[in-house]
């Protein structure tokens, strides 16, 4: 599960013209979508100033944690490489584990999505990430640790969780 969210969006939207806000958001959406699709991820939603994606379904991928990390870091890097007046600061969170994948809803209103604790943890990690940070769970970090041997870790109290979650902080190179 990957969540990427714009930092400081409300103050930015307050000072920019609506058309400029939409232009920046569309650039973010394009960058995020391209990075997700490059790694065979599924773009679940673009909601407000956030992108939500998952990897390993509907097509199985044994290396889905690596794909999610590659995607998250690419989004952070590409947003940072934009000229300053086009940039948006973003933070991201990734959790790996089991989740329900399928249609939820009833009648004419259904949504193909993912649900479960793994999804909630990824969303909470994204909330805790600072600008330019990608926070990943232990299960995710175990799959990419050789690439980031010196990544710092932190124990986080996440909303709705009884116990702290250890997360590793990754930055785009």
The CATH number for 127's domain is 3.30.70.1230
For residue 14, what are the CA distances in angstroms to 3, 29, 55, 88?
A: 24, 20, 34, 14
Query: How many domains would you assign to the chain?
Result: 1
CA distance 148 to 133: 13
- The three-state secondary structure class of 8 is coil
- The structure's pTM equals 0.94
Kindly report, residue by residue over 118-166, the tens digit of the pLDDT: 999 999 999 999 999 999 999 999 999 999 999 999 999 999 898 999 9
* Mean of per-residue pLDDT scores for the chain: 94
The boundaries of the domain holding residue 86 are 2-171
């Amino acid at each position: 599960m990957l969540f990427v969210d714009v930092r400081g969006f409300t103050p930015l939207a307050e000072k920019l013209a609506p058309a400029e806000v939409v232009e920046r958001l569309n650039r973010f959406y394009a960058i995020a979508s391209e990075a997700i699709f490059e790694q065979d991820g599924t773009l679940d939603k673009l909601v407000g100033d956030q992108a939500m994606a998952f990897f390993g379904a509907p097509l199985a991928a044994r290396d889905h944690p690596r794909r999610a990390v590659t995607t998250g870091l690419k989004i952070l890097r590409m947003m940072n490489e934009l000229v300053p007046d086009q940039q948006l600061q973003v933070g991201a969170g990734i959790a790996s584990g089991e989740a329900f994948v399928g249609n939820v809803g009833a009648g004419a209103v259904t949504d193909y999505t993912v649900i479960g604790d793994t999804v909630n943890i990824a969303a909470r990690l994204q909330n805790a990430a600072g600008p330019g940070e990608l926070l990943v769970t232990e299960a995710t970090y175990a799959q990419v640790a050789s690439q980031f041997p010196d990544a710092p870790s932190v124990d986080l109290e996440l909303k709705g969780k009884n116990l702290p979650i250890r997360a590793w902080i990754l930055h785009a190179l």
